[in-house]
Structure formats: structure tokens, C-alpha cells
Structure 1
Amino acid sequence: MKRLVIYFHYDPAGCIDTACRIAVQAVQKYGRVVFVTNGTLAPADRVWVRQSGAGRIERENVGFDVGAYREVLLTLGREKLAEYEEIVLMNYTLAGPVCSLAAMFTAMDARPELDFWGLTRHYAMQSRRFGGAVPEHLQSHFIAVRPRLFNSDDFWSYWQEMALPASYEQSIIRHETRFTPYFAARGYAWDTYVQTDDLKPVFVNPIMACPRELLANRGCPFFKRRSLFTPYADELRRTDGLAARELCDYVTAYTDFPLELLLVSLLKTQPLSALAQNLHWCYPVGAPTGETPDLNELGLRLLHYEQPAADPVTDWYNRQAAANADTLLAEAAALFEKNPMLGVLSPSLPLWQGCTAARRAAWMREKDALAQEVSVPVGSDPPPAPNCGWVLVRESAFPDGIPACTSQRDAWKLALTAQKNGAYTAAFEPLTRSAARADILNEYETAAAQPAAVAKQLGRLVKHRLQK
């Protein structure tokens, strides 16, 4: 089949990361690729596109993927596109493939009754953010269209009349959720390669909610990058919060996809806190063995820094956590061998609520200044570590030398510097604390299900604040 793939890319620095390159090279086996980016590519990346044999369009960063697709389609024109048997609109938000694309293209080539098809679908839902009633639709990260559709006046009117979106929400409303019902209403047949109708009562967005299931059992060759850094509160509204971790464990164990290289790329563009929450970079460790590791031989260094001033209870719990971490030094050091990308490690924050409040207050004081000093995103939430004045670092995560670390602000900058260098920061805790954390969560969930208890707790909080 003569196929054209329009591959949309965006990176604020103009870089094409390994995951994008893998995807482009994979689809090139099945069609000609036009690589379109919203911005200016770095010189070395522009050379890579040329050497790959793909066409290249660099354009102003307007209109999101919708604007990019529209420009390529209108630039090539109706007559040129009529030479193809299938046109694929695909974007960089997909990572993979984790398997050969042959099965997907063979299966869909065997369905000539379809006028357009996609990788996955999103089921109908209500969303004020996205305009109210969202219909069932193909997800715009991968849509293939065939001659009966792309040679029609309907198709060209759709793109010529398209108002370019100025926000992510507008791109969803004006294109992603509109494309499928617009053409279905005009008699064009569609379907998806990955079949998920049995999941419809469970998840509206299966590729985000249960990506491991789609990869392991339904032949899906791609997963969403966003699975690894989606807002965790959103994740908890639709899943049990384990989707990203289970996805990564599967990709690492059962595929050849270089997940660590994707993580290196994401560390440069996403807040550390978002990645840490989705990937659960908090490691439980067993009882101390009493062994004393040779940190120099392991390429590690233990640092201590002064904690911000806090109330006596918070200060006591922080000091206890640091002392406990000393007894678990061997177990902490072993985590670096098991996790090659781990660069900075410290004890998890104590479970006392004052510790959480103190850390957040300190972060809010420092984050804006830190954002001016580092080249990675600084999120609204603090990184998972360092905590408690105790931090173990991998020396190779700091090729320019380990910065001085005497305060909590220095410790956070240490974590952000490691992030820039492609290493992540994590916490560790004894199994007893992990068990207590689960019990505390259960207590909060039980209380949240009882409005009277919530109101009572709120009253106590207000009273406590007024007394202060």
C-alpha cells in the first residue's frame, strides 16, 4: 500500500529525542514520512531528519498538531495526496513501538470497508473542560484516512474551514473530539485497531487508564508519554494510581523499547514531582543488616544539611527519620545498583502531618527562585526528596562536581541539577512506614466517605488556626 505518514513533533528546544526517532524509523517501513515540527529544529536534529529520508517542515508554533496537519495537507494539496492509498496523521505524544507494526497494518489493510481508522478510541463522557458532551471518538495521536475520505469535498472542507486552536482545550474540541462524529455523520465508516469495547463500562480512556493491558493483551504497539507524568490527582479519579508503574515494568521486562532513554528526555521537560508520583519513586527497604557499605567504592557520597526551622514535633520526627536512615545506609546504597538512573536518594518524609506542611511551605518560598537557577521545570509540588537533612548521591550524576549542600534549598537544587543531567531523585523508607502509610490512607478514605466526620475535622482545623 502506498502510504503517507504526517508525523507531528514539538519540543521547545528543537530536539528530536530517541523515542521520536524510533517511532519515525518504525513507520518509515510502511510509508513515506513528512516530519512537521512547530518550531525550529536544532542543527543536528535537522541533519537527522534529512539523513532519515523524511520530508521536513518547520513552522511557527501555532495551532498545535491541528495547525501542523492542516498546513501539510494544504501545502501538498489534493492532487498530490490523491497519489496515495492511505494518509496517517500521527504525533509525538505516542511512545513506541514496543513491537512490530506489521500486525497492525496487515490487520487494517484487510479491512477495505473502512474509510478511516485509528489506533485507539476514547469513549463518550461529560466534561465542562472540553465543551460538555464529549462523543466517542478516535484519538488524534494516530488516525489513518483512505481515498474515499481524503479525496472527498467533505475532507477538504473540514480542513480549509478549520479555526486553529489557541489552547489545548480548543484543539480537543475543534479537532480530536470532532473529527470522528463529523465524518461518521456523513456516511464514512471507521473503527480502531485496538479493540476495547469490553472496557467501555470501566474506562473512558483505556490507553491512559490501563496501558499495560493494551500492550500485553491487545496488540497495541504504542503507549502515551503522558502516562508517565499526567497530573496524579486526575489519575486517581479514574484509576488505582498504578497505571504508569505497571506500564513501565511491562515495557522493561517484555519489550526492547529503551524506556530509560525516554525517561532521560522526560526529566528535561517535566517536573520531577509529576514523574515521581506516577512512577512511585519511593522504595520500601527491609530491616537493617548492620553492614557498612564502602561508599567510595560504590561511587556514592552521603551529605547532611541543616533543616529549616520547624515546630518541636516536626523537628523531632525529621531528626528521627535521619537517624533511622543512618541504620539503613547499606539498604539505601543497594538501591543505586538496582536503579541505574537513580541519582539522589533520601529518607521519605515522616508521616507526621506537620512535616508535610513544613516542606510545602518551604518549597513555596523557594520554588520561584529555584526556577530562575535551573534549566528543568520546577513544578508546584516539591520533589520527593531530599528530606530530613540526609541525602545520598551518585557522584556520576554530577559530572561538573557535587554542588555544596548546606540547606534545604541547596538540597532541592541538588535534585534539580541531577534531573538536568538525566538522573532522578527518590525516597526510601522502612517497611513499617510503608504499612503505616497504607493505614493512614485507609483512615483518610474512611473519613472522607463520612461528611459529618469531614465537617468535624474542618472545624478542628479552623479552631486550631484561630488559636494560633
Structure 2
Amino acid sequence: MKRLVIYFHYDAQGLLDGPCRFAVEALLSLAEVFLVTNGTLRQDDHVWAAEHNVQVLERDNVGLDVGAYRQALLTLGREQVASYDELVLMNYTLAGPVCPLEKMFREMEQRNTLDFWGLTRHYAMQSRRFGGSVPEHLQSHFLAVRQPMMRQDAFWEYWEQMKLPQSYEESIICHETRFTDYFEKQGFVWDSYVQTEDLKAIFVNPIMACPRELVEHRACPFFKRRSFFTPYEDELRRTDGNAAKDLYEYLSRETDYPIDDLIRALLKDHTLSAMGKNMHWHYLLPCAEKTAPEPWEESDLCLIRFEIPVCDAVSQWYLQQSAEQAEKQLLQIKDLFRRFPMLGVAAPELPLWPQAIRANYTQWEKDYTWLKHQVSVPLDNEPPLPLLAGWVLVRKAAFPEGIPAVSNIRDAWLLPLQAQQNGYYSATFESCAQAAARTEPYTAGVLKSGKIGSVAKQLGRLIKHKILR
């Protein structure tokens, strides 16, 4: 089958990263690839594209992926596009493949009654954010259209009349949730490659809710980059919050996909707090303490101490206990760095005392503006690490230009952020006893959040404390 893939790409710095190149190279054995990017690629990316016979269209960042597909189609023209047996519109937001693509394309070629098909589907739901009633639909990150449909006026009118979206929500409303229903009503037949009907009553968006299930048991060759940085609070409303970690562990242990290359690429553009929550960059130390200190002067790690910020007396007491534990925990923490080569900075988790948690956020808010001008990675209102204990352990290799001087917490914030710039993540750690204790307030919070009286009582306390302050 003669196949054309229009591959949409976007990067604010014009970088065609390793995971994108990996995907395109896998597609090239089965299709011609036309890459459309909302920006300007770097020179070395143009060289790579030319070496792989990938045609590139650069455009302004207008209309998101929808605008890019539209311009690519109109640039190529109806006659050229319709000369192919199959057209694939693919978004760089998919990562992979994690298995050979021949199987998927071969199986779908045999289903010759289909006019168009997609990788996965999203089930019907109600959403004010996306226009109210959202029908079941093929997800627009991978759509394949057969030649008979490409030759129809309806297909070209759809794109010619397309209103360019100004936001992510508009792109979902005007294209993703519309495409399938629009062409089904015109008599065209469709289906998805990955079959998830048995999950319909459980998850409306299986590729995000249970990506490992789709990859491991349903032959899905791609997964969403977003799995590793999606707003974690949203995921907890839909899942148990383990989807990204489960996917990562499966890919790293059971496939040849270079998943760590993807994680490094994502660290460039996404906050440590978002990725850390999804990836559970939080480790438990063995219960048995080892008290013998390590000769760190000969190590590839460095213990850094700094002044503990002044906070309430209770927090100060707990944080001092943590600081005094540093020497006893060094061997255990060193083992974490051995097990996880991308770990750049490790810090002790905050005590469960609420004021300590608030103090960490307050300090981050105080230093945020200054820090934003010191690093190139994105920041948000979530601290990258809890640093109130006054000490961290760092991997020297995460700082090829040298570890910055640290005397206070403002300096210390730079450690995880600079490590992130260099492709390393940061993590917290705690003892088994502390982790066990952490489950109790979580359970209490979940139970109380479902009771109106408890919520009202907590709101009253919050208002009272704000007024008194």
C-alpha cells in the first residue's frame, strides 16, 4: 500500500528531539513522511530530514495541529494526496513505536471495508470544557484515511472550511471530537486499531488511563508523551495515579524502546513537580539503618548542607531531626543513585506537620521570581523539591560545569533545576515508618472530603486562621 504520513511537530526551540526522530524513522519503512512544524527547525534537524528524505514544511505557530494539517494538505494539493492509497495524520504527542509497526498496518490493510481508521478511541462523555456532549470518536493523534474518502469533496471541504483553533479546547471541539461523527454521518465506515470496548464502562480515555494495558496486551505501538506530565490531580479523579509509573516500568524492562531518552526530552519542557508526581520520584529507604558514614570525598556524589530557614518551632524541631539523620542515611541514599542513573538530586521528604509543608511553599513563592530568571526549564507554583531540612545529596555528573555554591535555600533551589536542565531528575526519600504514617492523613482527607459537614468545618477553620493572621 502506498502511504503518506503527515507528521505534525512543535517545539518552542525548534528542536526535533530524539523521540520524534525515532518515530519518523520507524514510519519511513512503511510510508513517505511529510513533516509539518509550527516553527523553524534547527539546521542539524534539516540535515537529518534531508538525509532521510523527509520533506519539511515550516509555518507560524497558528492553529495548533489542526492548522498544521490543513496547511500541509492544501500545500500538497488534492491530486497529490489522493494519489496515495492511505493518508495518515499523526501528532508528535504520540511516542513510540514500542513494537514493529508492520503488524498494525498489515492488519488494518486487511480490513478493506473501512474508509478511515484510528489508533485509539475516546468514549462519549459530558464536558463543559469541550462543548457539552462529546461523542465517541477516534482520537486525532493518529488518523488514517483511505483513498476513496480522500477523493471525495466532503473530505477537502472539511479542511478548506476549517476554522483555525485559538486554544487546545477549540482544537478538540472543532476537529478531534468532530471528525469521526462528521464523516460517519456522510456514510463513511470507521474503526480503531486498538480495541477497548471492554474498558468503555471503566475509562473514557484508555490510552491515558491505562497505557500499559494497551501497549502490553492490546498491541498498541504508541503511547502519549503526556502520560508523564499530565496534571496529576486530574488523573486522581479518573485513576489510581499509577498509569505513568506502570508504563515506564514496563517499557524499561520489557521493550527496547529508549524510554529514558524520552524522559530527558520531557524534562526540558515540563516542570519537575508535574513529572515527579506522575513518575512517583519518591523513594523509601530500607528500614534497617546503617550508621557508618561514607568517605564522600572519593565519591561521585556530594552532600550539601545549607542554612535551615526560620519557621515555626514545631517544624523547626522536626526539620532538625531530619538534618541530624543525614549522616546515618548516606549509604542508603547512595544506593538510590546507583539504582537510578538519571537521579541527580535527592532530598528528605518533609515531616507530616502541616506548617512545615506550608513553609516550604511559602519559601518557594518568595524565591520564585528570582529563580525564574536563572534557569531555562519551566517553573510553576509547585516547589521542585522540599528543601527545608537543610541538606541534599547530589550527583556530580548532573552538574558538568560544577556544582553551584549553596549557602541558603534560595541557592539550593537551583540544584534540582540545573540538574533538570542537564537531563537529570530529582527525588524525595523517607523512611518506611514515615511512609506508613503518611497513609493515615491521606485516608482521613479522602473520607472527609466527601462529607459536607467536614468540608464546611475545615473551611471555617481556614477563614478563622486567615482573619486572625
Q: Does TM-score exceed 0.5, indicating one fold?
A: yes
Deviation at 1:51? Answer: 0.9
Q: Is 1:349 equivalent to 2:350 in the alignment?
A: yes
Could you tell me which residue of structure 1 aligns to residue 396 of structure 2? 395
Question: Quick check: 1:344–1:392 contact (8 Å CA) kept in 2?
Answer: yes
- The residue type equivalent to 1:12 in the other structure is A
The 5 A counterparts of 1:39-438 are 39-287=39-287, 288-438=289-439
Report the Cα offset of residue 387 of structure 1. 4.0
Q: What is the CA-CA distance between 1:261 and the residue it aligns to? A: 0.7
Deviations 1:299-340, CA, capped at 9 Å, x for gaps: 001011112221111111111122223321110111000000
What is the Cα deviation at residue 103 of structure 1? Answer: 1.0
Q: Which residue does 2:21 correspond to in 1?
A: 21
Q: Which runs of 5+ in 1 are unaligned?
A: none
Shift of 1:461: 2.8
Q: Deviations over 1:2-40 (max 9, x none)?
A: 000000100011111111011000111111000111100
More off after superposition, 385-394 vs 345-354: 385-394
Letter in 2 for 1:444: G
Q: Determine if contact 1:8/1:90 at 8 Å carries over to the other structure.
A: yes
TM-score, scaled to structure 2: 0.98
Q: Following TM superposition, by how much is the alpha carbon of 1:465 offset from its aligned partner in structure 2, in angstroms?
A: 3.2
Tell me the distance in 1 between the aligned counterparts of 2:104 and 2:113.
16
Distance 1:463 1:36 in 2: 56
**Deviation for aligned residue 1:266:** 0.7
Whether the aligned pair in 2 keeps the contact of 1:293 and 1:333 (CA below 8 Å) is no
TM-superposed CA distance for 1:101, in Å, is 0.6
SS of the residue corresponding to residue 284 of structure 2 reads strand
Letter in 2 for 1:76: L
Describe the SS at the equivalent of 2:283.
strand
Which piece of structure 1 moves more, 159-168 or 320-329? 320-329
Deviations 1:159-193 (A, max 9, x none): 00001111111111111111010000100000000
Matches of 1:22 and 1:222, distance apart in 2: 12
Q: Is the 8 A contact 1:273 1:383 kept in 2?
A: yes
2: CA distance, partners of 1:367 / 1:373: 10
| Contact 2:291–2:327 (CA under 8 A) maintained in structure 1 | no
The SS at the match of 2:434 is helix
Task: Give yes or no for contact 1:276–1:384 (8 Å, CA) kept in 2.
Answer: no
Deviation string, structure 1 residues 47-96 (Cα, Å, up to 9, x no partner): 11111111111111111111111111111111111210000000100010
Partner SS for 2:37: strand
Q: Decide which moves more: 369-378 or 113-122.
A: 369-378
Structure 1 range deviating more: 5-14 or 380-389 = 380-389
For the residue of structure 1 that corresponds to 2:29, the secondary structure is helix
Q: Deviations over 1:395-420 (max 9, x none)?
A: 11101000011111111111101100
Cα distance in 2 between the residues matched to 1:387 and 1:2: 60
Native 8 Å contact 2:119 2:143 kept in 1 = yes
Q: Cα distance, 1:459 vs. partner?
A: 2.0
Corresponding pairs, count: 468
TM-score normalised by L of structure 1: 0.98
Residues 360 and 386 of structure 2 are in contact (CA less than 8 Å); yes or no, is this contact kept in structure 1? no
Aligned-partner residue type, residue 314 of structure 2:
V
Residue 366 of structure 1: CA displacement?
A: 1.4
Q: Structure 1 counterpart of 2:113, which letter?
A: E
Any conservation in 2 of the 1:97–1:257 contact (CA below 8 Å)? yes
Cα deviation for residue 447 of structure 1 reads 1.5
Cα distance in 1 between the residues matched to 2:406 and 2:362: 20
Q: Any unmatched runs of 5+ in structure 2?
A: none
Write the letter of the residue equivalent to 2:320: R
SS in 1 for 2:247: helix
Mapped contact 1:398–1:418 kept (Cα < 8 A): yes
Please state whether the residue corresponding to 1:328 is helix, strand or coil.
Answer: helix
Change (3 A) 1:45 1:93: same
Relative distance call for 1:66 and 1:94 in structure 2 (3 A) is same
| Separation in structure 1 between the aligned mates of residue 146 and residue 328 of structure 2, nearest angstrom | 64
Residue 164 of structure 1 aligns to a residue whose secondary structure is: coil
- SS of residue matched to 2:155: helix
SS at match of 1:269: coil
